[in-house]
Amino acid sequence: MKSGKCPKCGSDEIYRGRGHNQRTAINISMLKIARVDDFVCTACGLTESYITDRAKLDAIKESWSRVQK
């Protein structure tokens, strides 16, 4: 959705929010957070969140459990 097109319905009615709601970050661990940008398709309601600091992705790998296939 960061490209401006919804992968679910194909709409270009995509809006980006940062700091517009209570959840502008996710907890990585007790002392670490990662800021997120939220994208919403106003045509179908699909919502996606992206971490803004790529360095935080390594911290998530260390702290979170990986989903197994």
**Better pLDDT: 42 or 63:** 42
Q: What's the burial of 6, exposed, middle or buried (CB within 10 Å: 0-12/13-18/19+)? A: buried
- pLDDT of 20-38, one tens digit each? 555 678 888 888 888 888 8
Helix (H, G, I), strand (E, B), or coil: what is residue 49?
strand
Domain ranges of the chain: 14-63
Question: Which pTM does this prediction carry?
Answer: 0.71
